[in-house]
């Protein structure tokens, strides 16, 4: 059989495609995935505009945890993980996130004066697990452009592992752990939200 032929995907008899193998998603999962992608896209638009941080805060649950563990350089065969079990670039809860936003609303937030020009792309959204009634573990990858008054912009990349709460109508962020691809941060500070 010629590999370049359109019939190369057909059975030996040439009358039917081979049996389906690989990835399968049911309709309920597709609907949830679509909902979570829409939530993450909406959240991205809000976070890209520093004047809308209170809108983002309204998307958080009161028991939110927000963490950015430090990535470590390890040999391939190391028995230790890629991320420090204790060191964090950020470790926040509802109260500390509120304080960060309140501070960014003042003229004393020098790290963000003038505000960074942000643009993020979120992709690779995947539901990893349903952890409880209406709670879902969702992973996504991101690339974040951060422009300042310097010539070279910052680019941050990583993966986010979120716990989203969905009651059938509203989605809220209950936990976010951000695994940056960088062992050395390519930005002067983390005065922004990832």
Q: Which residue has the higher pLDDT, 18 or 68?
A: 68
The total number of residues written for the chain in this structure: 194
Q: What is the pLDDT of residue 187?
A: 82
Residue 75 has pLDDT above 60, yes or no: yes
Residue 48, helix vs strand vs coil: coil
Q: What is the pLDDT of residue 26?
A: 87
Q: What is the pLDDT of residue 145?
A: 94
Q: What is the pLDDT of residue 9?
A: 44
- pTM metric for this prediction: 0.83
Q: State both tokens at 101.
A: 């936003």
Q: Number of H helices and number of E strands within the chain?
A: 3, 6
> Omega before 114 cis (within 30°)?
yes
Q: Is 58 left (phi over 0), alpha (psi -120 to 50) or beta?
A: alpha
Q: What is the pLDDT of residues 89-120, one digit of tens each?
A: 999 999 999 999 999 888 777 777 778 889 99
CA 33/CA 125 separation, integer angstroms: 8
Residue 51 has pLDDT above 60, yes or no: yes
Q: Is 14 left (phi over 0), alpha (psi -120 to 50) or beta?
A: left
By CB atoms closer than 10 A (0-12, 13-18, 19+), residue 172 is middle
Cβ atoms 154, 186 nearer than 8 A: yes
Q: Which of 5-14, 26-35, 43-52, 68-77 has the lowest mean pLDDT?
A: 5-14
């Amino acid at each position: 059989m010629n590999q370049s032929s359109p019939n190369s995907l057909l059975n030996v008899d040439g009358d039917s495609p081979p049996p389906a193998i690989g990835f399968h998603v049911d309709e309920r999962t597709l609907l949830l995935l679509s909902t979570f992608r829409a939530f993450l896209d909406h959240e991205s638009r809000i976070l890209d505009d520093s004047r809308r941080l209170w809108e983002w805060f309204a998307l958080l649950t009161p028991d939110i945890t927000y963490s950015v563990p430090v990535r470590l350089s390890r040999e391939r065969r190391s028995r230790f993980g890629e991320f420090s079990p204790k060191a964090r670039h950020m470790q926040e809860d509802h109260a500390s996130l509120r304080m960060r936003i309140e501070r960014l609303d003042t003229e004393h937030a020098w790290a963000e004066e003038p505000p960074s020009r942000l643009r993020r792309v979120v992709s690779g959204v995947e539901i990893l697990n349903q952890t409880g009634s209406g709670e879902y573990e969702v992973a996504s990858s991101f690339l974040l452009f951060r422009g300042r008054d310097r010539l070279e912009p910052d680019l941050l990349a990583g993966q986010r592992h979120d716990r989203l709460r969905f009651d059938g109508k509203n989605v809220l962020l209950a936990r976010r752990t951000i695994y940056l691809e960088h062992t050395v941060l390519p930005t002067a500070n983390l005065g922004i939200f990832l």
